[in-house]
Structure 1
Amino acid sequence: MRLDSQKKLTCWADFKNINVYIDQKEVLSNINISLNYGENTLILGPNGSGKSTFLKLLNRSIYPISSDNSSFKLFKKENINIWDLRKKIGFLFKEMEQRVNIGVTLYDVIISGFSGTFNSRYSKLLSKGEKTKIDNLINEWGLNNIIFNEFKSLSDGQKRRALLARALVYTPDILVLDEPFCNLDIKSNFILNRNLNKLIDQSINIVYVTHNLESILPKTNRVILIKEGTVLKDGSPNELINSKTLSDLFNISINVIEQKGYWRMVPLNN
């Protein structure tokens, strides 16, 4: 059963008749979705389908076209202060890694969750409580031995853990993650999957994009399929993560296999 068919769910993001254009091209069309507390949501679709754009609506880096019959509310507000938003939602986007300059340490990256800028000078302005929070995150994410290494010298797995620690500095209720498993080796993928499921156990709700079925979090309880800028289907993993639905979504014949809450796909010969 879909979670939003159950009673007493509280909505934190509400999209009504949302359309998004980038460079005069329609990227999202007629999006009508509510995201609710208690849901861990996978956004799945082909490259170029509008998944990342959908997530960027949530961090207010992209705005929809305004019309009389459309509305977009975060925490029941059409306008929200960006600093208030950061305290409620932690974000990880793929391009964040490219924004970090040469010479910036892993520690600088994490504390930038408070300041918004990758600048070591902010470390002198941290409050005692902020320093304690940073130290706890460093321990939780196993970053002690590399905390003062240059960020750009780190492995993809280490960079991802640092950026997730950054996203958690305000102890948000929600994490929004764009391709968190991209370019990770098997061990890093497993560690990240395990740590994200621990966060879910701590009542943090996760909205994420991934192309790899093997990276689907076992505690995912909602799946939104996006294709060509529109929501194709919206339901539970059991309803939508199957051979027929995903073959139609990606325009390729595949066999989807589930084992103990984990998924993988095998191509089929036509």
Structure 2
Amino acid sequence: MSDLSQKDVINWASFKNINVYINEKKVLSDININFHYGENILILGPNGSGKSTLLKLLNRSIYPIATNHSSFKLFNKENINIWDIRKKVGFLFREMEQRIDNGVNLYDVISSGFSGIFNSRYSSLLSEREKVKINNLIKEWELNNIINNEFQSLSDGQKRRALIARAIVYEPNILVLDEPFSNLDIKSNLILNHNINKLINQSVNIIYVTHNLECILPKTNRVILIKEGKIINDGSPYELINTKIISELFDIQVKVIEQEGYWRMVPLNN
């Protein structure tokens, strides 16, 4: 992973007056925001607020409504090839798990990061350099003992680690994660948290979505709050993750507690 210390004020994504409709329903409204190198960004909000939709704009699986007053740029380009994006940005979306057929083994899932296709026939066509990269990822993400297992037989934590390994085969400097910690038990959560922090230490910028304060990565340095399709606040964790703001965001009275970079909330009696 390359050192991004010289790029910490450069935009890699720029949204200007962005609106998104899905099935004629407006799901994102008037999005004006920039993402910069050097940031680890949390997008936080209730279920159905538009968090995942915002991320899907980044991998071009969803497109905004184009107007004379709107623009959406990735790496300073309004038009960019999807494979060029994948070499710069790794993606993990939860629905990927459902797209993988029964019978596909873990090795073929990781190798599909190069081909885009979950099939052993394509794994056999990998270059020696690509095979070395996959073997290194298998070791780094502690998948050696299950590499030939069927993907759909694995635990949620193992699946998540495999799909992140798949997302970083091109050694991207940015990793986009949609609810990476959902449905994980305590051990799997801690292992994944540790591995993602290792990527951050290698200068990979993380942008991720959650609605659970306990899943906030300690090295998060920017928080974007989204509700009902609109960005309602943008700042540092210590500015925005507090009792008042979180209670208003989720429409519930809670107390927010932080300890050594980890967060949780507890309900307050009315």
Residue 87 of structure 2 corresponds to: 87
Note if 1:226 corresponds to 2:226. Answer: yes
Residue 151 of structure 1 corresponds to: 151
Identity %: 76
SS at match of 2:208: strand
Aligned partner letter, 1:245: I
**1:210 Cα shift?**
1.2
**1:221 Cα shift?**
0.1
**1:215 Cα shift?**
1.1
Residue 261 of structure 1 corresponds to: 261
Cα deviations across residues 37-81 of structure 1 (Å, max 9, x unaligned)?
000000000011000000000000000000000000000000000
Residue 206 of structure 1 corresponds to: 206
RMSD: 0.8
Aligned partner letter, 1:247: S
Residue 237 of structure 2 corresponds to: 237
SS at match of 2:198: helix
Distance in 2 (CA, whole Å) between partners of 1:81 and 1:139 is 31
User: Where do 5+ consecutive residues of structure 2 fail to align?
Assistant: 1-6
The answer to whether the Cα contact below 8 Å between 2:8 and 2:39 also exists between their aligned partners in 1 is no
Aligned partner letter, 2:253: S
Residue 3 of structure 1 corresponds to: none
SS at match of 1:29: strand
**1:121 Cα shift?**
0.5
Distance in 1 (CA, whole Å) between partners of 2:246 and 2:118 is 40
Note if 1:10 corresponds to 2:7. Answer: no
Distance in 2 (CA, whole Å) between partners of 1:126 and 1:54 is 33
Residue 173 of structure 1 corresponds to: 173
Aligned partner letter, 1:90: G
**1:8 Cα shift?**
6.0
In structure 2, the CA distance between the partners of 1:248 and 1:115, relative to structure 1 (3 Å rule), is same
Distance in 2 (CA, whole Å) between partners of 1:8 and 1:169 is 23
Distance in 2 (CA, whole Å) between partners of 1:8 and 1:119 is 38
Residue 184 of structure 2 corresponds to: 184
The answer to whether the Cα contact below 8 Å between 2:8 and 2:38 also exists between their aligned partners in 1 is no
Distance in 1 (CA, whole Å) between partners of 2:80 and 2:37 is 18
SS at match of 2:121: helix
User: Where do 5+ consecutive residues of structure 1 fail to align?
Assistant: 1-6
The answer to whether the Cα contact below 8 Å between 2:8 and 2:36 also exists between their aligned partners in 1 is no
State the number of aligned residues. 264
Aligned partner letter, 2:83: W
Structure 1 residue runs of 4 or more that deviate by more than 4 Å after TM superposition? none
SS at match of 1:190: helix
**1:153 Cα shift?**
0.4
Aligned partner letter, 1:30: D
**1:192 Cα shift?**
0.6
**1:123 Cα shift?**
1.2
Greater mean alpha carbon deviation, residues 107-116 or residues 7-16: 7-16
